[in-house]
Structure formats: structure tokens, C-alpha cells
Copies of this chain bind each other. A is one copy, B any other.
Amino acid sequence: MKAYLITIGDEILSGRTLDINSNFIAKELDNIGISAIRFSIVSDKNDTIKQELAKAFDSEADFIFTTGGLGPTKDDKTKQAIADFLSDVLILHQPSLEYITEIYCKNGRKMNELTRNQAMVPSRSEVIINRYGTAPVLWTKENNKILINLPGVPYETRAMMTEFIIPKIKREFNLSYIIRRSLTVVDFPESELALTLNDWENNLPDFISLSYLPSGARIELRLTVKGNNREELESSLLREINKLPAIIGKRLVSTQTTNIQDIIADYLKKNNLTFSVAESLTGGTISQKITSVSGSSAYYKGGITSYSVEAKETLLHIPHDVILQHTVVSEEVAKEMAKQSARLFNTDIAISTTGVAGPDSDDFNNPVGLAYIGLYFQKEIFVKKYFFPNLTRDEMITRISNKALEMLYFKIIENE
């Protein structure tokens, strides 16, 4: 089955807001075997919305999703456009009105005409009360298609998708299976890998599709199968994956996952090792990435963000002389930071970063883009130097955070 996703809102077309709803909805649908055939992001004008609905109803899609434009203000035009398109009218939905009134009352707010408008819905639509906000979610059957209207607020749309829409689709439709496997290849240029896999790829069964998804120094090979016999799909997938170690060799580092934090987590848990950080340049970003993995408290003890010279001296105990002689952005300071982090948190492994993210150079006149990553790994210390003079501040922070995790990751692969 197929889906057509429409995002409504001028704030997205102006670049002010990033549309993350389409991505989330597509991912959720993909998990139950429904493929998005397109995303359209359009202006919140009545005519534009109607035209886009017409295209969607004209397409091969079985499900049409809209997000946005269900709120109470003047630029929220989705419901009227839907009613116009369906030759329907908006009517007051009493349970929605009561629910909205209750929410407002609880929060000590008063209802007004605009708020009441939120309870107006097309007369033929099924209303799913939005437990995470006030704009009702709509489900409308029309011409053998299902039109689903969700709010623009990502938090509301995500919760309503997961808790109501996906279960409802599963209940009402007979869906085929979809299975995915992601493999991680390192140190292989995409075009060389494609040539190496040419024969294998050409001989894949029709129902298996392959994508190359490069990300930094890694390439994700993603295999997807769709069909009705789950066991058969799984065994064909496995049969094809089992041919790969002989073709790719040791550069195929995982046939299970592509998430570097997960690979690190697995290794630390398996080997009963603990980890900490000391960040300067990256300002907490590595810590944030590590703690995004659930269960990370089993191996992650914590980190120090030493953003000032003072904090490097008092909290990380880096000798004043070392800083004076080498400056804070140096191999020596990166080494000391990693070592001290391991000592203070009593960990087996520690990572440190120091550098100049810009736009201005630091107090020691180190150039923007210079960085050192330190790695303390079971009593040994390693340092890598990087220089990225053309990156923006954000890009520099992201790049060095990723490089730091990759440095640990490659050390782990070496040790495996």
C-alpha cells in the first residue's frame, strides 16, 4: 500500500521551520509496509491545499496524510479546504468542544470564538480526539482512499500517529510484511564498493532492494524485502547477507546495526568497560550523543565540559604550565583531558576534545578549525589532530563529535 504526504505551512516553505513530521510519518508507515510515494510541502492557501488534495486523490496512494493548518488562527486553513474539496461543510463536533473546553478550564484559560473553531470539522469525517493538544485529528474515507489530517506540532503528530493512527491502520487493513537489515561497511569508497558488489547486486531476487547510504567514513548497505510469507522473506534475506563477508571482507564491520553509539554501547557492555568524556570544543555534544542511547547509564559515568581555562585547571587538574607552554588547543592538553577524565570518573575509556570552533580564534590565537581529540583506552593514550578551516561553528562541533566517536569505534574494531 502507498501513502501521499502533504505538509501545509508557509513557515516550512520559508525555511523558518524544518518539516520533521513527514520523516516521522514515513518511517512509521514504512515499518508496517506502507511506502510513501511522495512528500509535498505546500502553502497554507485554500486553493493550493485543494489542488494538492486533488493530485493526491488522483495518485496511486491508498492513504493521504496532511499535517498542519488545524490550529485556531487565520493561517490555519486545512479544515475549510478539506470541506471545500470534499463538497462537505464544517459542523460543530460536540465531544471535541467539550474536550477542548475541559483542557482550557484545567489550564485556567477561557474559551473564545477562535478556540471554539477548533471543534468545527467536516461533517463526514471521523474525529479522533487529540489527547496531546486541542486540534482534532480527522480520518475520512473517500473514493477508496483514506485521508488523515494531523496537526503541525511534531509532538502531537508523533504521539497521535503511534498511539492511534498506526494501530487503526493495522486493525482495518491487511498489510504485507516488510523486513529491513542494515549493514555497516567502513573504509570503502562508495563507487568501489558498488563495483565490488556488482555481481551480487545483479543476482539479488526481485523482491530484495538495496540502497547505499554513505555517512562520513561509513556506508550503510540497506536491504529491504516485502512480501506475504514472513519466514521465506527472512531466509532469503539471510541467504544474501551471508554471502557478503566473503565478498567485502573485514571492512564489513556489522551485519546488524549502523548506529555508532549502539556499536560502542554493545562493546562496552559486552566487555564490562566504563566510559567518560572531557569536552571543550564539543561543549557537551558527545555526552549528549552517548546518553541518547537508553541503558547508557550502565557504562557511561559522565563528563566534564571544561569551557574555560580555569575549569581545565581546577576541575580537570591540568597543570598551569602545560597550558601556558602548549596552549589549551594542543596535543598535550587533549591527552591530559582524556587521562584526567578517566581518573576522575574512574573509567576504562575516556574521550576528550579541544579546539577552536570559531567564528573567532581563541585567546591563544589558535586558528579557527583546529582541533585535537584525545582517547584514553585502557591505560594507553592516543591523540588525533584535525584542521577544518571552512566549517561553520555548528558543523565544526558536529564533525569533531563524530570524529571522536569514530576514533573510539575504530579502536574497538581493532580490538575485537
Contact = CB atoms under 8 A, between A and B. Distances in A.
A394 interface: yes
Nearest to A193: B73
A23 B292 CA distance: 25
Main secondary structure of the interface of A (DSSP, over half): mixed
A109 B190 CA distance: 11
B305 A17 contact: no
A112 B302 contact: no
A246 interface: no
A235 interface: no
A23 B17 CA distance: 7
A83 to B, nearest CB: 20
Given A14-B36, A16-B222, A40-B39, A190 B314 contact: no
A393 interface: yes
A389 to B, nearest CB: 12
Contacts of A201: 74
A283 interface: yes
A373 B55 CA distance: 49
Interface string A261-305: 000000000000000010100111111101110111100111111
B190 A71 contact: yes
A155 interface: yes
Contact of A307 (B75, B302, B394): B302
Contacts of A195: 112-114
Interface stretch (A27-35, A138-146, A168-176): A27-35
B18 A20 contact: yes
Contacts of A359: 294
Contacts of A30: 14-15
20 contacts: A13-B38, A14-B224, A15-B36, A19-B22, A38-B41, A38-B42, A40-B40, A72-B191, A74-B194, A114-B194, A158-B395, A159-B390, A279-B284, A283-B287, A291-B307, A297-B362, A301-B310, A304-B305, A304-B315, A314-B344
In order of increasing CB-CB distance, the 8 nearest A-B pairs are A15-B27, A283-B291, A284-B287, A284-B284, A15-B26, A39-B41, A114-B191, A284-B288
Interface of A: 10-20, 22-30, 35-43, 71-75, 109-110, 112-115, 132, 153, 155, 158-159, 189-192, 194-195, 201, 211-214, 222, 224, 277, 279, 282-288, 290-292, 294-297, 300-308, 310-311, 314-315, 344-346, 357-360, 362, 390, 393-395, 397
